[in-house]
Amino acid sequence: MSRRVFSGDTTYFPGIEQIRYEGPESDNPLAFKAYDRERVIGGKTMEEHLRFAVCYWHNFCATGADPFGPGTRELAWAQGPDKARVARDRMDAAFEFFTKLNIPFWCFHDFDMAWEGATIGESEKNIQVMVDLATERQQETGMRLLWGTANMFSNPRYMNGASTNPDFNVVAYAASQVKAALDATVELGGQNYVFWGGREGYAYLQNTDTKRELEHLAIFLDKAREYGRSIGFEGTFLIEPKPMEPMYHQYDFDAQTVIGFLRHHGLDGDFKLNIEANHATLAGHAFAHDLQMGADAGLLGSIDANIGNPQNGWDTDQFPSDVYDTVHAMMVVLRMGGLGDGGLNFDAKVRRESTDLEDTFIAHIGGMDCFARGLIIADRVLADSRTRELREGRYTSFDSGDGKRFEKGELSLTDLRSLAIAHGEPEKISGKQELLENLINDHIVRGAS
């Protein structure tokens, strides 16, 4: 069964039909080769495993502008001075795109879905107009909201931070935005709410009281939690770590930093992590590393599935195209038992040079197929008994006897010294890294069909 394609008065993607699975032999660029949404793997359909989302901002707002030149794409739905009209047309285009791609979820920022007014009251009205329209569109199409968020980094008022701004007036302003974005998320049945602290950090240490700013961040998140729960938000609050860009240093540096912060402030019962591949690599980690840190802490909530460019240090927000990477990511997700109410959001944009209307479809199809292949192969790698043996086998000395007593905290440092003397020099035990690498590659080469 397929989702019904939304079509408003205008068709923004003429000539593009709903994207279907045609299998690995197909050479149709507008078909899935691996993502067969109803195919069952390990008891769940691919759609249920992967929970893909399209983001609003990169696809329906951005035109490809960069610091060196203007946009290269014309958006048919974003023409004219009437902001309300543009926002409505944009939403029609978005729902046509979502349903033609046949993807289950979407994500928004307040001021890419709506437009900012001259006052807080006006902005709230604008958001409400768009929430009403989105509610209708969701009902017509069956689309669901993975997460909502507030953009507290573009407006110049946030140049010194939002909730960590040294000026209380800005902190209060940011709170007004989070309140409205939470209201919108709840009304649209959003399953998560994201905080990405784009400007929550600093540029210069000597004019910044980092201790005070971090305390303000914790109070702000606590108040957002309190408000969200009071209006019936039952979903998960997510923090999206990123080490830098736009700020020289951002407080939510990486998964482990955020985990420590959440636990320190007692926020870990309501907040989890939204791990973005590109942000993990900017922090000097592999994507799978940050996923694993989140999973180990029971705090991996959701994923932004875009990647960076290994040759430079920017957030390039590219669509995933590396199967090796998605295999490793999906191994973490499968071992964790799935993404729960989280999902895989393509916070990704087509390249500035990709100017055909179909390119955004092709990019999503490629990203979805890349993760579908990652899922199929990860499932096979994990089902291969050698994988578990090679990992778990390394820890068997802790499964019984003194190793087990150590894990229970029953042995003192002096006890350990005596045991070390009794056992003598430990034998060298191979880590077998190359064997595991070969095993994973063998499964990749055997194919993802």
**Contact residues: Ca ion, CB under 5 A:** 276, 278, 304, 315, 317, 347
Nearest distance, CB of residue 310 and ligand XLS, angstroms: 17
Nearest distance, CB of residue 317 and Ca ion, angstroms: 5
Describe the crossing of helices 287-296 and 255-264 by its angle, rounded to 10 degrees. Answer: 20
Check: CB of residue 92 under 8 Å from CB of residue 12.
yes
Nearer to ligand XLS, 96 or 347 (CB): 347
What residues numbered 190-229 form the site for ligand XLS, per CB under 6 A? 194, 196
Examine the residue annotation and report whether 112 is marked as an active-site residue of this protein: yes
Q: 36, 252, 315, 379: which one contacts ligand XLS (CB under 6 A)?
A: 315
For residue 195, what are the contacts with CB-CB under 8 A and spacing of at least 6? 149, 221, 224, 237, 238, 239, 240
Q: Is 149 in the site for ligand XLS (CB under 6 A)?
A: yes
Dihedral, CA atoms, 256, 258, 264, 268, nearest 10 degrees? Answer: -100
Check: CB of residue 208 under 8 Å from CB of residue 217.
no
Nearest distance, CB of residue 81 and ligand XLS, angstroms: 27
Nearer to ligand XLS, 37 or 109 (CB): 109
Q: Which helix (H) or strand (E) holds 100?
A: helix 83-101
Nearer to ligand XLS, 110 or 379 (CB): 110
Closest CA to 181 of 83, 108, 92, 239: 108
For residue 66, list its beta bridge partners: 69
Nearer to Ca ion, 183 or 276 (CB): 276
CA-based angle 20:86:190, to the nearest 5?
60
The one catalytic residue in 49, 58, 109, 443 is 109
CA distances from 325 to 332, 393, 427 (A): 11, 25, 34
Task: Identify what 325 binds: ligand XLS, Ca ion, none; CB under 5 to 8 Å per kind.
Answer: none
Phi/psi at 31 (nearest 5 deg)?
A: -140, 150
Nearest distance, CB of residue 242 and Ca ion, angstroms: 7
Helices (H) and strands (E) in the chain, counts: 16, 14
Binding mask 158-187 for ligand XLS (x = CB under 6 A): ------------------------------
Nearer to ligand XLS, 149 or 292 (CB): 149
Euclidean distance between CA atoms 153 and 409, whole angstroms = 46
Q: Is 250 in the site for ligand XLS (CB under 6 A)?
A: no
Residue 398 CA, chain-centre distance (Å), reads 35
Describe the crossing of helices 385-392 and 358-383 by its angle, rounded to 10 degrees. Answer: 70
Q: 92, 112, 213, 240: which one contacts ligand XLS (CB under 6 A)?
A: 240
Nearer to Ca ion, 200 or 304 (CB): 304
Q: Is 276 in the site for ligand XLS (CB under 6 A)?
A: yes
The one catalytic residue in 36, 89, 92, 112 is 112
CA distances from 78 to 63, 91, 93, 127, 344 (A): 10, 10, 10, 17, 27
Nearest distance, CB of residue 427 and ligand XLS, angstroms: 47
Examine the residue annotation and report whether 109 is marked as an active-site residue of this protein: yes
Task: Identify what 360 binds: Ca ion, ligand XLS, none; CB under 5 to 8 Å per kind.
Answer: none
Task: Identify what 149 binds: Ca ion, ligand XLS, none; CB under 5 to 8 Å per kind.
Answer: ligand XLS
Q: 89, 200, 254, 347: which one contacts ligand XLS (CB under 6 A)?
A: 347
Q: 89, 112, 200, 304: which one contacts ligand XLS (CB under 6 A)?
A: 304
Interface residues toward ligand XLS, by CB under 6 A: 109, 149, 194, 196, 240, 242, 276, 304, 315, 347
Active site positions, annotated = 109, 112
